[in-house]
């Protein structure tokens, strides 16, 4: 494990509220959760995120990332992940989530633009009020602690209360999750910190394609598509008659599914053979996830109703 990761683990312990405290705004809540800042972000992590940001800035949909600033927040448990927030003129315009690998390096677990920003503190604030964890006087009870965590395909808030089981809240949808979200992401199929990183190809979302699985649920009757690897996924996304939806039967809440696959990014590195594929989700392709993780955690169906 790298020295930077060890330092992160030492510095990013979950801090609980020692006494009842007023949290009057979502920003105050976010500041409380991310109050444990590191003295120095590992230089290898900063270098990797800057390389990724520079490559993405050549794409029209990410052009605002050019010369943008990047700030870092450690994510639990054990701070094996980091949230890198990309900002322009003080306004967040995108993000990257990086996860440490077994060899002490880092991998790109996901990335996206501002429409898909994870760890939405306003949504969390509303959920805590709804569940009474943040009371009518806008106070958190003594002993409550909240930690931002990351698992495979899943940004999540872990909310702990004295004498009660932990509650896991999805970091984008703010839905309560019915499980213990502690699965560590796998380095297989994700871009890792290497020399000569390049975004070599991009398939951008096509506006005329279906992009919301909830608009018409007839896709549920279509057969599961048999993909043997990322090559099959590439062909399906590029096919004119295909509009893909990712779903994980029995585990949709875990991954915020179902959602549409609307584009692709293909990455390469000078020190590694082959390519790494990220699939864009949503109408404008605002959230990019490792295609290999999608293939291993769920299945795909065709949303193009004329071809069901």
Euclidean distance between CA atoms 206 and 67, whole angstroms: 28
Domain-located, residue 52:
yes
Q: Which of 140, 159, 186 is the last residue of a domain?
A: 186
Give strand pairing partners of 302.
244
Co-location of 160 and 205 in the same domain: no
What pLDDT does residue 10 have? 40
Co-location of 86 and 136 in the same domain: yes
Co-location of 223 and 99 in the same domain: no
Query: What values do phi and psi take at 116, rounded to 5?
Result: -115, 20
* Residue 308 binned pLDDT confidence (cut-offs 50, 70, 90): very low
Domain-located, residue 139:
yes
Domain-located, residue 162:
yes
Domain-located, residue 191:
no
Q: Which of 186, 212, 242 is the last residue of a domain?
A: 186
Co-location of 178 and 218 in the same domain: no
DSSP E strands in 126-206: the ranges are 139-140, 145-151, 154-160, 167-170, 176-177, 198-203
The total of structural domains in the chain comes to 2
Query: What values do phi and psi take at 253, rounded to 5?
Result: -65, -30
Host domain of residue 121: 1-186
Greater confidence (250 vs 124) lies with 124
Co-location of 101 and 155 in the same domain: yes
What pLDDT does residue 7 have? 40
Q: Which of 165, 186, 207 is the last residue of a domain?
A: 186
Co-location of 115 and 182 in the same domain: yes
Co-location of 238 and 106 in the same domain: no
Domain-located, residue 106:
yes
Domain-located, residue 193:
no
Co-location of 179 and 212 in the same domain: no
| The model scores a pTM over 0.85 | yes
pLDDT tens readout for residues 79-110 = 678 999 999 999 999 999 999 888 888 999 99
Task: Give CA angle at 185 (184, 188), nearest 5°.
Answer: 140
Query: What values do phi and psi take at 22, rounded to 5?
Result: -80, 130
Co-location of 147 and 212 in the same domain: no
For residue 246, the Cα-to-chain-centroid distance in whole angstroms is 15
Contacts of 96 by beta carbon, 8 Å cutoff, 6+ apart: 49, 52, 53, 83, 84, 86, 108, 110, 111
What pLDDT does residue 200 have? 94
Domain-located, residue 107:
yes
263 and 113 Cβ atoms separated by less than 8 Å: no
Co-location of 224 and 147 in the same domain: no
Co-location of 110 and 217 in the same domain: no
Co-location of 170 and 206 in the same domain: no
Q: Is the pLDDT of residue 15 over 60?
A: no
Domain-located, residue 208:
yes
What are the tokens at 170? Answer: 């999805």
pLDDT tens readout for residues 238-249 = 887 778 999 999
pLDDT tens readout for residues 136-188 = 778 887 789 999 999 888 899 999 999 999 999 999 888 888 766 555 555 56
């Amino acid at each position: 494990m790298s020295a930077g990761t060890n330092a992160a683990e030492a510095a990013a312990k979950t801090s609980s509220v020692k006494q009842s405290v007023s949290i009057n705004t979502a920003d105050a809540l976010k500041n409380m959760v991310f109050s444990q800042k590191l003295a120095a972000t590992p230089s290898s992590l900063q270098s990797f995120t800057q390389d990724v940001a520079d490559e993405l800035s050549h794409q029209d949909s990410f052009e605002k990332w050019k010369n943008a600033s990047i700030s870092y927040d450690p994510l639990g448990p054990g701070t094996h992940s980091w949230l890198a927030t990309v900002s322009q003129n003080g306004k967040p315009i995108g993000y990257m989530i990086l996860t440490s690998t077994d060899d002490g390096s880092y991998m790109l677990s996901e990335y996206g633009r501002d429409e898909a920003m994870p760890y939405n503190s306003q949504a969390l604030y509303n959920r805590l009020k709804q569940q009474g964890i943040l009371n009518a006087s806008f106070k958190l009870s003594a002993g409550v602690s909240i930690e931002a965590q990351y698992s495979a395909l899943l940004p999540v808030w872990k909310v702990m209360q004295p004498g009660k089981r932990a509650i896991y809240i999805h970091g984008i949808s703010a839905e309560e999750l019915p499980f213990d979200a502690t699965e560590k992401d796998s380095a297989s199929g994700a871009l890792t910190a290497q020399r000569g990183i390049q975004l070599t190809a991009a398939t951008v979302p096509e506006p005329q394609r279906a992009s919301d699985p909830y608009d018409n649920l007839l896709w549920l009757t279509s057969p599961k598509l048999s993909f043997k690897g990322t090559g099959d996924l590439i062909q399906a996304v590029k096919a004119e008659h295909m509009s893909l939806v990712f779903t994980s039967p029995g585990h949709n809440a875990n991954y915020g599914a179902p959602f549409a696959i609307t584009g692709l990014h293909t990455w390469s590195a000078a020190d590694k053979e082959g390519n790494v594929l990220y699939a864009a989700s949503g109408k404008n392709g605002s959230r990019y996830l490792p295609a290999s993780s999608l293939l291993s955690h769920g299945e795909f169906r065709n949303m193009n109703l004329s071809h069901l």
